[in-house]
């Protein structure tokens, strides 16, 4: 059991924020995890933080506890039937590399989720989604370790209570489990989802003659690369805010004052707004203060241009939220976890 002290977390978070963990270790097997959790250090070093790819987190100060890096690796075809492949991936696998693996093997269903940063373990935790696809659409089951009871439990689709960028692991079970692996239900016969106009346009630019999951993945990669910064070059956590959901009545009222406002009807009663559009209308797109700012190509993304502190990024996010409330009366919710 190798536990280090006063370790910089800069390389372990996509924002590149330079804070320290009082204690730090990693586990690559359940046996290693059990050994770490059984150690007396755990009780004396609360709080505990399980770290995956570090792509959905903003550190605002040193972490005075134990950080455990999830490095469980492996991908396997568990079973298959006439329609589906049941593909199990361990939580420490890089998400995009897993998507690429599935495309190479012609496992269909997650091609629209290409190039999303982070690891497999985070995918069900926040029900990641993009371009008309969410994890709940391809989810079969997951294994998670209960921290207090020291046992592995299996969660089904219903058990996870998936919502928009949400699950039981962000609400009532927050901090109680460590996700070990996720099994996905992937199609043998693709059901192509190109309902988002941007994908159709990109496929046309690519001059794709025959639609395939590989072509859709490539289109998504091109779209994301054109408007989102590479965390290896510019620190960021992707979309910082969720797209807000309001009532149809509220949307109709906003539409009268702002005819150009964009919204996607979820049902007869609810409409999802484009948070990026709201933020841009408030003048934040391209804003920079020191090394913290709002990305010039996508207002949903807050960035660290080099030496910004987490608090500086957080301050800008709070100012953005206040201005959106003032202008539109709409409350934005942070998608990124703040520590």
User: Of 14, 114, 239, 317, which is the active-site residue?
Assistant: 239
Residue-by-residue DSSP string for 255-294: HHH-TT--EEESSSSEEEE-HHHHHHHTT-TT-EETTEEE
Is residue 335 part of the annotated active site? The answer reads yes
Active site residue 165: yes
Separation CA 322–CA 203 (nearest Å) = 38
Closest C-alpha among 271, 219, 265, 264 to residue 245: 271
Positive or negative CA dihedral for 106, 110, 116, 119? negative
Q: Edge-to-edge, what's the strand order for the sheet holding 151-156?
A: 75-80, 84-90, 177-187, 139-146, 151-156
Q: Are strands 57-58 and 20-27 parallel, antiparallel or unpaired?
A: unpaired
Q: Which phi and psi (to 5°) does residue 191 adopt?
A: -115, 90
Contacts 24+ apart (CB under 8 A), 304-307: 304/15, 304/16, 304/17, 304/234, 304/235, 304/236, 305/234, 305/235, 306/235, 307/18
Give the integer Cα–Cα distance in Å for 241 and 261. 17
Hey, what's the torsion of the CAs at 170, 194, 241, 88, to 10 degrees? 30
β-partners of residue 68 are 25, 50
CA atoms within 13 A on the CB side of 175: 6
Q: Among the options 114, 165, 181, 217, which is catalytic?
A: 165
SS3 232: coil
Catalytic residues: 165, 239, 335
């Amino acid at each position: 059991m190798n536990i280090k002290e006063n370790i910089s977390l800069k390389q372990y978070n996509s924002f590149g924020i330079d804070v320290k963990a009082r204690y730090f270790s990693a586990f690559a097997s359940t046996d290693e995890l059990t050994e770490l959790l059984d150690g007396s250090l755990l009780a004396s070093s609360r709080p505990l933080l399980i770290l995956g790819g570090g792509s959905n987190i903003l550190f605002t100060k040193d972490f005075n506890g134990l950080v455990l890096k999830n490095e469980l690796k492996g991908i396997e075809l568990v079973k298959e039937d006439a329609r589906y492949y049941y593909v199990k991936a361990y939580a420490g696998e890089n998400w995009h590399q897993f998507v690429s693996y599935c495309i190479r093997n012609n496992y269909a269903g997650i091609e629209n989720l290409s190039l999303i940063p982070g690891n497999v373990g985070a995918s069900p935790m926040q029900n990641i989604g993009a371009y008309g696809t969410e994890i709940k659409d391809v989810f079969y089951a997951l294994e998670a370790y209960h921290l207090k009871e020291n046992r592995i439990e299996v969660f089904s689709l219903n058990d996870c209570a998936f919502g928009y960028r949400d699950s039981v692991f962000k609400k009532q079970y927050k901090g109680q489990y460590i996700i070990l692996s996720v099994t996905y239900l992937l199609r043998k016969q693709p059901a192509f989802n190109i309902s988002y106009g941007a994908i159709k346009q990109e496929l046309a630019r690519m001059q794709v003659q025959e639609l395939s999951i590989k072509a859709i993945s490539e289109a998504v990669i091109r779209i994301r690369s054109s408007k989102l910064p590479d965390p290896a070059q510019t620190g960021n956590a992707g979309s910082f805010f969720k797209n807000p959901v309001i009532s149809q009545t509220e949307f109709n009222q906003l539409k009268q004052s702002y005819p150009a406002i964009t919204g996607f009807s979820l049902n007869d009663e609810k409409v999802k707004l484009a948070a990026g559009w709201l933020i841009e209308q408030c003048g934040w797109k391209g804003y920079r203060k020191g090394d913290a700012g709002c990305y010039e190509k996508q207002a949903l993304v807050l960035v660290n241009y080099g030496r910004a502190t987490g608090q500086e990024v957080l301050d800008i996010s709070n100012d953005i939220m206040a201005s959106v409330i003032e202008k539109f009366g709409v409350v934005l919710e942070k998608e990124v976890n703040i520590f």
